[in-house]
């Protein structure tokens, strides 16, 4: 019998005649920037048999004392599930798990999400973690919790890696990706929806309508974790769910957190038609690849707009076709402009993120990205072009290639926790000089094209002149502006 199963059996026995009718499963979302609703925990918590299990979600982002809140939730718990992204969230996930283990040494602690999906075995080196879940979590977690409750072995539980009773790490076979329609609807009553609205400063619901992605970008972990599979909710179910959620929560906007919302054009059309038919008074935003935007028929885009589409997020990544080929984006820069013009014609705003600092990226390639951003910004003041620096996230083809070439990446969980290089650096492949140039461009393109009050118009003209000729030296305005209004650093 595994340690987790032993622990669960001991706990079930301990309550005796006073055993509560439902056993408590505690889920923890580590501290993070932004207040996106904890959709992963909603997914796995909602899919548990609620007649048998009480689900308690502790979101560190909502608590003044997150570990105190977690500790308070742990009494009589059957197990704890923690969702873990690579980088800074690992720090809190680790601290919280270690604290839980210290207080309840026999309580099984399960890690799931993107980092444990890629490093199932490595995470288990830390004695605070008993089980890791790889990939889609709904069925795997339901299976695990059921086994904990019945006190049976974890052998054969597909999709997990665990330490068995003898302390040996065992990786069970993967669990095939299931269609998401097979899973229970996300039960938003598990979270204080109004608190998220208040913290976001808007009545915006986060919703996920699909998992995975069919594409193969070499900088992204999705092809590794989902093996290029994509599964989406049926439009009818989505519209019904969102209509009933709207009745309860009266949100103004839905932010679809899908990797690629526009994966199936016919499905998106049916969803948009459903919103129109249900007269849902909402706006919405979703992710769209540039090639999908090009292929989407004009009437479909018009329907999306009518149904409330306010913004499309189109990952540009690079302004250089050569770089786009290298990173296997399978789009061309011309398609980005075509999609941009198209959404602009329909009054839809756009977010066009770029990544700079790929290993070995040339100055010309970076310049092509700056030029593409300028052209996009010139189309509409409602187009944003954020720039991010390439980070060698695990599970991506580029990272594997640089590691093969001798680049040493983080090994331990503590090292992965410190992996985010937020601050005055652009990463291993960006010189200080290039970093300064890109940072200045980031500032000036915002001043040049963001909507500005009258008093900032002269500054705007200077910024446009700077961008037009790539004149970023002696950025006096930037230094003064930044000294007066320091910008938050997100990446
Ligand atoms: C919302 C979001 C965020 C939020 C997280 C909010 C939160 N809850 O804390 C914020 C904005 C903070 C964020 C930050 C970042 N993010 Co983010 N984010 C997302 C996004 C868009 C949606 C996540 C989501 O809710 N999905 C819906 C749920 C249902 O799916 P899921 O998370 O995959 O969960 C399933 C399984 O993984 C599993 N599972 C998950 N957790 C658990 C827990 C247990 C116990 C079990 C059993 C199973 C399980 O079961 C779930 C159901 O099947 C994803 C893309 C995507 N569509 O998934 C990117 C994504 C997760 N982010 C990513 C990245 C790169 C980042 C950032 C680095 C971005 C940046 N440049 O700063 C940072 C990293 C965090 C950091 N270092 O600070 C990558 C993953 C990177 C990685 N290796 O972890 C993704 C996949 C995007 C991508 N394709 O590159 N992100
Ligand atoms: S970057 Fe986007 S399109 Fe490319 S594989 Fe990742 S999720 Fe898919």
Which ligand has the minimum distance to the alpha carbon of residue 289? 2
At residue 92, φ and ψ (nearest 5 deg) are -70, -35
In which band, very low, low, confident or very high, does the pLDDT at 419 lie, cut at 50, 70 and 90?
Answer: confident
Residues 160 and 118 in one domain: yes
Domain membership of residue 474 (yes or no) is no
Least confident span in 191-200, 207-216, 274-283, 386-395: 386-395
Which atom of ligand 1 lies closest to the CA of 394? 83
Q: How far apart are CA 115 and CA 140, in angstroms?
A: 16
CATH number of the domain encompassing residue 27: 3.40.50.280
pLDDT, tens digit, 9 for 90 and up, residues 163-204? 998 999 999 999 999 999 999 999 999 999 999 999 999 999
Question: In this predicted structure, what is the pLDDT of residue 428?
Answer: 86
Q: Is the CB of 113 under 6 A from ligand 1?
A: yes
Residues 209 and 148 in one domain: no
Domain membership of residue 328 (yes or no) is yes
pLDDT, tens digit, 9 for 90 and up, residues 350-382? 999 999 999 999 999 999 999 999 999 999 999
pLDDT, tens digit, 9 for 90 and up, residues 131-149? 999 999 999 999 999 999 9
In which band, very low, low, confident or very high, does the pLDDT at 422 lie, cut at 50, 70 and 90?
Answer: low
Question: In this predicted structure, what is the pLDDT of residue 5?
Answer: 41
Which atom of ligand 1 lies closest to the CA of 257? 21
Q: How far apart are CA 410 and CA 400, in angstroms?
A: 13
Which residue(s) pair with 131 in the sheet?
Answer: 110, 162
Domain membership of residue 454 (yes or no) is no
- pLDDT over 70, % of the chain: 94
In which band, very low, low, confident or very high, does the pLDDT at 2 lie, cut at 50, 70 and 90?
Answer: very low
Residues 209 and 134 in one domain: no
Question: In this predicted structure, what is the pLDDT of residue 147?
Answer: 98
pLDDT, tens digit, 9 for 90 and up, residues 302-345? 999 999 999 999 999 999 999 999 999 999 999 999 999 999 99
Q: Could you tell me which of 174, 172, 99, 88 has the C-alpha nearest to residue 129?
A: 99
CATH number of the domain encompassing residue 357: 3.20.20.70
Residues 135 and 231 in one domain: no
Question: In this predicted structure, what is the pLDDT of residue 19?
Answer: 53
Q: How far apart are the first and last CA of the chain?
A: 45
Q: Is the CB of 213 under 6 A from ligand 2?
A: yes
Question: In this predicted structure, what is the pLDDT of residue 16?
Answer: 45
Cα 484 to ligand 2 centre (Å): 38
Max alpha carbon distance in the chain (Å)? 79
The residue nearest atom 2 of ligand 2, judged by CA position, is 259
Using N-to-C axis directions, what is the helix angle for 457-468 and 476-484, rounded to 10°? 130
Cα 95 to ligand 2 centre (Å): 31
Question: In this predicted structure, what is the pLDDT of residue 3?
Answer: 47
- Which H or E run includes 205? strand 204-207
Question: In this predicted structure, what is the pLDDT of residue 21?
Answer: 77
Which atom of ligand 2 lies closest to the CA of 213? 8
Question: In this predicted structure, what is the pLDDT of residue 80?
Answer: 98
Q: Is the CB of 222 under 6 A from ligand 2?
A: yes
Residues 406 and 329 in one domain: yes
The residue nearest atom 7 of ligand 2, judged by CA position, is 259
Mean pLDDT of the chain: 93
Q: Residue 367 sits in which domain range?
A: 202-430
Report strand pairing: 383-384 vs 349-351. Answer: parallel
Q: How far apart are CA 143 and CA 134, in angstroms?
A: 13
Using N-to-C axis directions, what is the helix angle for 138-150 and 3-14, rounded to 10°? 60
Q: Is the CB of 175 under 6 A from ligand 2?
A: no
Higher per-residue confidence, 422 vs 65: 65
**Residues 43, 183: contact at Cβ < 8 Å?**
yes
Residues 230 and 350 in one domain: yes
End residue of a domain, out of 408, 430, 452: 430
Which atom of ligand 1 lies closest to the CA of 208? 27
Which ligand has the minimum distance to the alpha carbon of residue 263? 2
Q: Is the CB of 206 under 6 A from ligand 2?
A: no
Question: In this predicted structure, what is the pLDDT of residue 200?
Answer: 97
Q: Is the CB of 396 under 6 A from ligand 2?
A: no
The residue nearest atom 69 of ligand 1, judged by CA position, is 491
At residue 14, φ and ψ (nearest 5 deg) are -65, -25
Question: Count of domains in the chain?
Answer: 2
The residue nearest atom 6 of ligand 2, judged by CA position, is 220
In which band, very low, low, confident or very high, does the pLDDT at 13 lie, cut at 50, 70 and 90?
Answer: very low
Where helices occur in 257-297 by DSSP H, the ranges are 265-277, 290-295
Q: Is the CB of 420 under 6 A from ligand 1?
A: yes
Higher per-residue confidence, 279 vs 421: 279
- pLDDT over 90, % of the chain: 89
pLDDT, tens digit, 9 for 90 and up, residues 74-122? 999 999 999 999 999 999 999 999 999 999 999 999 999 999 999 999 9
Cα 257 to ligand 1 centre (Å): 9
**Residues 21, 12: contact at Cβ < 8 Å?**
no
Q: Is the CB of 286 under 6 A from ligand 2?
A: no
Domain membership of residue 315 (yes or no) is yes
Domain membership of residue 458 (yes or no) is no
260: pLDDT strictly greater than 60: yes
Residues 322 and 370 in one domain: yes
Which atom of ligand 2 lies closest to the CA of 214? 8
- Which H or E run includes 403? helix 397-404
Domain membership of residue 184 (yes or no) is no
Higher per-residue confidence, 444 vs 420: 444
End residue of a domain, out of 149, 171, 193: 171
Question: In this predicted structure, what is the pLDDT of residue 9?
Answer: 41
Residues 233 and 166 in one domain: no
Cα 301 to ligand 2 centre (Å): 21
Which ligand has the minimum distance to the alpha carbon of residue 315? 2
Instruction: Tell how far CA 269 is from the center of its chain.
Output: 24
Q: Is the CB of 115 under 6 A from ligand 1?
A: yes
End residue of a domain, out of 414, 430, 446: 430
Which atom of ligand 2 lies closest to the CA of 259? 7
Residues 209 and 165 in one domain: no
Where helices occur in 89-214 by DSSP H, the ranges are 89-103, 114-118, 120-123, 138-150, 193-200
Domain membership of residue 180 (yes or no) is no
Residues 268 and 384 in one domain: yes
Which ligand has the minimum distance to the alpha carbon of residue 215? 2
Residues 406 and 314 in one domain: yes
Which residue(s) pair with 110 in the sheet?
Answer: 81, 131
Q: Is the CB of 258 under 6 A from ligand 1?
A: yes
The residue nearest atom 17 of ligand 1, judged by CA position, is 85
CA distances to 42, 205, 237, 301, 475 from 193, in Å: 12, 8, 21, 30, 43
Question: In this predicted structure, what is the pLDDT of residue 423?
Answer: 54
Best probe residue, ligand 1, of 94, 114, 228, 351 (max atoms within 8 Å of C-beta): 114
Residues 127 and 219 in one domain: no
Question: In this predicted structure, what is the pLDDT of residue 181?
Answer: 98
Question: In this predicted structure, what is the pLDDT of residue 442?
Answer: 96
Domain membership of residue 138 (yes or no) is yes
């Amino acid at each position: 019998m595994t340690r987790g199963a032993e622990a669960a059996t001991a706990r079930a026995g301990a309550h005796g005649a006073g055993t509560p009718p439902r056993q408590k499963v505690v889920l923890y979302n580590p501290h993070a920037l932004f207040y996106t609703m904890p959709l992963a925990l909603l997914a796995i918590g909602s899919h548990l048999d609620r007649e048998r299990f009480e689900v308690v979600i502790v979101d560190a982002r909502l608590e003044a004392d997150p570990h105190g809140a977690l500790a308070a939730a742990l009494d009589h718990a059957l197990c704890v599930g923690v969702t873990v992204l690579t980088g800074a969230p690992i720090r809190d996930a680790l601290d919280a798990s270690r604290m839980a283990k210290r207080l309840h040494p026999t309580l099984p602690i399960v890690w799931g999400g993107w980092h444990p999906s890629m490093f199932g075995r490595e995470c288990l080196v830390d004695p605070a973690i008993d089980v890791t879940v790889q990939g889609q979590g709904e069925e795997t977690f339901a299976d695990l919790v059921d086994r904990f409750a019945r006190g049976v072995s974890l052998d054969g539980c597909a999709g997990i890696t665990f330490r068995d009773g003898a302390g040996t790490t065992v990786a069970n076979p993967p669990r095939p990706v299931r269609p998401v329609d097979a899973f229970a609807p996300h039960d938003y009553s598990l979270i204080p929806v109004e608190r998220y609205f208040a913290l976001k400063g808007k009545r915006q619901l986060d919703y996920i309508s699909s998992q995975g992605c069919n594409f193969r970008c070499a900088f992204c972990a999705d092809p590794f974790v989902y093996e290029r599979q994509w599964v989406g909710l049926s439009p009818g179910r989505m519209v019904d769910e969102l209509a009933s959620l709207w009745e309860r929560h009266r949100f103004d906007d839905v932010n679809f957190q899908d990797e690629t919302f526009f994966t199936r054009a016919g499905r998106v059309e049916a969803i948009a038609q459903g919103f129109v038919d249900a007269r849902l008074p909402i706006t919405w935003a979703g992710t769209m690849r540039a090639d999908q935007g090009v292929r989407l028929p004009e009437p479909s885009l018009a329907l999306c707009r009518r149904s409330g589409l306010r913004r499309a997020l189109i990952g540009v990544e690079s302004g250089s076709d050569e770089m786009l080929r290298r990173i296997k984006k399978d789009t061309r820069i011309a398609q980005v402009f075509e999609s941009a013009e198209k959404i602009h014609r329909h009054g839809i705003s756009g977010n066009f993120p770029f990544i700079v600092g790929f290993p070995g990226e040339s100055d010309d390639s970076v310049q092509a990205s700056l030029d593409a951003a300028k052209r996009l910004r010139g189309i509409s003041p409602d187009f944003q072009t954020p720039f991010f620096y390439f980070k060698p996230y695990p599970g991506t083809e580029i990272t594997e290639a640089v590691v093969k070439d001798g680049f040493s990446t983080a090994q331990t969980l503590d090292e992965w926790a410190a992996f985010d290089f937020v601050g005055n650096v652009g990463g291993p492949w960006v010189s200080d000089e290039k970093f300064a140039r890109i940072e200045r461009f980031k500032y000036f393109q915002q001043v040049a094209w963001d909507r500005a009050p009258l008093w900032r118009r002269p500054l705007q003209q200077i910024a446009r002149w700077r961008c037009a000729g790539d004149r970023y030296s002696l950025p006096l305005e930037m230094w003064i502006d930044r000294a007066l209004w320091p910008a938050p650093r997100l990446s």
